[in-house]
Amino acid sequence: MVPLDEWLAVRGDQYATLLDMQREHICRAVTERLKHAFPTLCYDPSRPDATEFQQMVYERTPHRFHRLIQVVLRLQSISVIEREYRWGWPVLQRYRVEQVHLISHIRWYFEAARKFAPLARTDRRPFAQLEARIIQIVQSITQTTIDAISGNGLHGSLGFAT
């Protein structure tokens, strides 16, 4: 078994290219899954552009994640995932995005990637390890929540609740 770091160094760039060639197929599949599984995700009827905003979220979210995966594969660094989600989690909560939404999105992305950009047999285990590591990171980060109503954290102070 090839360690994940070694696989990223040896095969990351090649697989990033293959994934990027299938980007539209992968992202479209994830968008459709998001729409059907979470029909009220990021829908805020108080917004004048509620439907348009929601559609934009459905369409852009998989593309943004795809770009993150490209960075991970090409630069051989999973730390970019941690930084992105650590920064974004407080913002995402304001739109009532929950851990289940993020984890589902990640799983669906990797599922679509396997379908549209099939892996060599020797790449399957490290790619599954990458998926598991990203899910682990997101689970760890999303264990904390911000008071989404006031946007100021626990009891109106700038902090996190667990």
Whether 30 is in a domain gets the answer: yes
pLDDT at 147 over 80: no
**Following DSSP, what letter does each residue of 43-90 receive, concatenated?**
--TTSTTHHHHHHHHHHHHHHHHHHHHHHHHHHT-THHHHHHHHHHHH
SS3 state at 22: coil
The pLDDT tens digits for 116-126 are 999 999 999 99
State pLDDT tens for residues 9-63: 999 999 999 999 999 999 999 999 999 999 999 999 999 999 999 999 999 999 9
Q: Into how many domains does the chain fold? A: 1
User: Domain of 58?
Assistant: 4-156
Q: Is 161 within a domain?
A: no
Q: What is the CATH number of the domain that holds 21?
A: 1.10.490
User: Is 74 domain-assigned?
Assistant: yes
- Residue entry with tokens 């990171």: 137
Q: What is the mean pLDDT of residues 134-143?
A: 96
